[in-house]
A and B are shown apart, each in its own frame.
Chain A
Amino acid sequence: MPPDTVSTPGGALARQFWAENPIFRQVLGICSALAVTNLMFNTLLMCGGLIWATSMSAVTVSLMRRLIPQRVRMITEVLIIAVYVIMVDIAMRVFFPEIHRVIAAYVGLIVTNCIVMGRLEAYASKNTPFNAFCDGLGSGLGYSLILMAVATVREVLGFGTIMGYPLPARELWWHQWTLMVMPPGAFFVLAGGVWIARWFAMRREAAAAQSPPAPQAAPPQQGGAE
């Protein structure tokens, strides 16, 4: 990962949302991306939970960054993330009990989601609270953007609905693609998406390299597995 030189809140947000998108560019947080994306509404709740957890724990870690001893910093970060994730879990039990039954395991797993931990370690523990908040928010939104896109494809092809509403006249033309409902469906959609996004990115970088003076193009990221 390039050194964290972004110091404006907007820059931090934009970079995490797109240029360093956690899923397309860094290939982080894949396990939940595979599991919860067959229905858009469930995905939306999961994304809401992740946005809340990344942005709020980033603020908290940033506020406490001068107090947290170096030796126990990671365990403290996990504690802080866990607090915000449990809040999400309780809120879902109260407001969306049926969806909670389906995705509860993944909500709990946000605690160990590499996106959250990675942003706290790399950015929030060294930057001011508002910047850290924007960085976390950008990561969460970047994750959500991709997840919602994957979920849209899977729900349309797998269930023939959008946000639970049936597609117009689907009896006439739509046929269920069962694979899209099952976890492997996410592999295909996600991999196809990453392929397309990187193809665009590489074309842009190649175009940038041809026009001197060449701006420093970041080397392609090596995907780290979850």
Chain B
Amino acid sequence: MKINTKNPLYVVVFSVASSIVFTAGIMLIQVAAQGAIDRNQKLLEQKALLELFKLGDPRAMPAREIARTVETRTRRMELTDPQTGRTMRVVVAYEGELSRSFVRVRGYAVPIEGMGFWDVIRGYIAVAGDLTRVLGVTFLRHAETPGLGGEIMNPQWRRKWEGLRVSPPAQGGRFVYIGGSAPDSSQDPRQGRFVEAITGATGTSTAVAKFVNEDLAAFQRAARAAGLIPDGVEKPSGQSAPPQTPPGPESEGR
């Protein structure tokens, strides 16, 4: 039987049928692989937290050890921004294992999310327990151009964030400045809050600065509303700040 491949009806039927067959095949594979992909995603996040809070070297630890460290040293906490009503799931890291009765807070990992140059960027910025300085920044998901915007994952660039001053915010409620020229005078409001932008990726750098500032502002409002009292500050008597509570049901061990 000879098929007339020029017949318009055949062209339509062929196009529709081949699309359905190939798409269905890919969907089946995707569904079958989803479990493993989710597990990998969780491990990536745990490694990112480990690195962010310097709880250990994720490259030198087996997956089980990474999971155990994250589960015993961190927990999740929901904070609500009173201004927008948005809740955020902050990860709190402790100086020791949570099973002990009193452990100091090492820091808070604040989720950051916003539109990058190409697609949504998602990650964490970690703030020290006294809420004054940045411990580090990490990005879990981005689709920026490798070598340009993709350099946000470059450890050398991320190291420039460590130690930035975030409290109190500079004028205009800004926390972090990303730009081309470093502050040159001590009067410059950007002093101690400046990260050099990535060469060739001004779009990505500007976008990151924008959503990090917004998310840090929301975190500051939420932390104040929740009464998070920084470590090392005298606490009102008889009142313990939420971070020092022992692990609740919200502990990472899911």
Contact = CB atoms under 8 A, between A and B. Distances in A.
A102 interface: yes
A39 to B, nearest CB: 12
B44 A90 contact: no
Interface in B19-47: 19, 22, 25-26, 29-30, 33, 36-37, 40-41, 43-44
B145 interface: yes
Nearest to B40: A97
B145 to A, nearest CB: 7
Interface size class, chain B: 20 to 34
B19 to A, nearest CB: 7
B5 interface: yes
Given A80-B22, A105-B145, A106-B146, A71 B11 contact: yes
A97 B146 CA distance: 16
B147 A35 contact: yes
A101 interface: yes
Interface residues of A, number: 30
Contact of B5 (A67, A82, A91, A106): A67
Given A69-B5, A79-B22, A83-B22, A94 B33 contact: yes
A68 B14 contact: yes
Given A103-B146, A105-B143, A66 B40 contact: no
A90 B146 contact: no
A93 B143 contact: no
Most chain B beta carbons < 10 A, residue from A68, A80, A97: A97
With most chain B CB atoms within 10 A of its CB, the pick from A35, A69, A70 is: A69
**Quick one: which of A75, A87, A94 has the most chain B CB within 10 A?**
A94
A86 B26 contact: yes
Contact of B146 (A71, A72, A79, A102): A102
Interface of A: 35, 66-72, 75-76, 79-80, 82-83, 86-87, 90-91, 93-94, 97-98, 101-106, 182-183
14 contacts: A68-B5, A71-B6, A72-B11, A76-B14, A79-B18, A79-B22, A82-B22, A83-B26, A86-B30, A97-B40, A101-B153, A102-B146, A105-B150, A182-B147
